[in-house]
Amino acid sequence: MVINMGMLMLLVLDKLKAYGFTINLQSWGIALFFGTLIFLIFIGYLDWKFGLLRYETSRTQQQNPEIQQIQKDVAEIKEMLKWKTQK
């Protein structure tokens, strides 16, 4: 996560430089690094709190026909196990 965060920070700084904003990394690098880290942790917390990733994953899996077939197979196996345990 930290490596990806550092790469994202450098990409944003590069885009800012293209628009005419220059930031001296020698004096602001560590502050920007930890600021970006705190920001990404906050975004991750919000995602966890509101369950956005779980909702997106469940919606994607519902639309995937392979996952639907696997769910049908698991349901059939569960019914077979119930039938065998009731005997």
Residue by residue, pLDDT tens for the chain (87 residues) are 667 777 887 888 888 888 888 888 788 878 888 888 898 889 889 888 887 777 777 777 677 778 778 888 999 999 888 877 776
Same domain, 46 and 5: yes
For residue 42, what pLDDT is reported? 92
Biggest alpha carbon distance in the chain? 77
Same domain, 67 and 40: no
The whole domain housing 33 covers: 1-50
Same domain, 5 and 44: yes
Name the amino acid, one letter, at 71.
Q
